[in-house]
Amino acid sequence: MTLPLFLILALIGSIVLSWGTRAAVAGVLPHSVAYKVREMPLTACFGLIVIAIFVFMAVFAPLLAPFPERAVVGSQFQPWAAPNYLGTDRLGRDMLSRLIYGARNTVGIAFLTTALAFVVGSILGIWAALRGGWLDQVLSRFVDALMAIPSLIFSLLLLTIFGTSVTTLILVIAAIDATRVYRIARSVAQGIVVMDYIEAARLRGEGNWYLIRREILPNALAPLVAEFGLRFCFVFLTISSLSFLGLGIQPPMADWGSMVRDNATLITFGDITPLLPAGAIALLTVAVNFVVDWQLHRASGLKE
């Protein structure tokens, strides 16, 4: 089968799968919820299916993988054949098992990093917008200085200094991405803190934490949720890039970025094995963007 024909069949299959899944889910849900599912675009449905598959792989990796994550099961670069259905890597480890465990490591670490960046960046951004004055100026100028440094170069520098453990990787990337979240949260919050209900809450004597938790955050949630999806993509790609360069998730842990690097030599022999982890990275990124686009459209209140 040629590559163009395979891509056409994959596109048709994804459309049919998305349509069938949307219809099946809408059929079992209550009527009050089913109509929302039917209005979901096929791209968003496809994205949710892909995300669900990757999450399932991450959670149940030990049950799905035919071999342990670090086990050497054969000679290096074996072809696709049973029991190594996707062949072996340069150390003789099963590629299919490494791909499945890579979903747990790469996606799981990216999610934790994004969540940490959002907690820190959102709280500081909303707090700066609420307080204003010198606090807002100091935090904003500090964030501007950090954002002036290219994020990948800054990550490489900090990881070279502090080491390449998983904890360090999460903290470094979360700190860098929190600056981007800070700018978004501050911008959104600045449009909310001038509202009359904020002033009314202040006149009632409510504190800053109450205003953030009960007044500002619920009204800023829609754009922040959409930004979370986009930021997850950037963090996910950053971790994969760092792993490809040797400063991300370290061996023997399975990681899609390092798998591309370790098996890149096979491309010169016409073997597409290195494209499998690269394709997994691209597929998840596209799927998340499909869902984020849908959420942004819903939050905007626009109709087709």
Concatenating the DSSP letter of every residue in 42-59 gives: HHHHHHHHHHHHHHHHHH
Q: Chain centroid to CA 136: how far?
A: 29
**Selection from 111, 148, 144, 149 nearest residue 128 by Cα:** 144
Write down the architecture of domain 41-300 according to CATH. Orthogonal Bundle (1.10)
Please name the residue that has the structure tokens 């069949």. 9
Q: Where are the domains of the chain?
A: 41-300
Q: Which two tokens stand for residue 101?
A: 């465990």
Distances (CA, A) of 172 to 43, 47, 110, 117, 158: 33, 29, 12, 10, 7
To the nearest 10°, the Cα dihedral for 67, 70, 71, 77?
90
96 torsion bin: left (phi>0), alpha (psi -120 to 50), beta (else): alpha
14-31 core/surface letters (b: 16 or more CB in 10 A; e: else): beeebeebbeebbeeeee
**Number of alpha carbons in the 13 Å side-chain half-sphere of residue 141:** 6
pLDDT of residue 278: 86
CA distance 226 to 230: 7
Per the CB < 8 A criterion, the answer to whether 252 and 69 are in contact is yes
Classify burial at 48, counting beta carbons within 10 Å of its beta carbon; exposed 0-12, middle 13-18, buried 19 or more: buried
The reported pTM is 0.82
Token pair belonging to 118: 């959002």
Q: Residue 116's pLDDT is what?
A: 92
pLDDT of residue 26: 67
Beta bridge partners of 81: 84
Residues of the chain with pLDDT below 70 are 1-11, 19, 25-26, 28-29, 31-37, 299-304
* Amino acid 2: pLDDT: 54
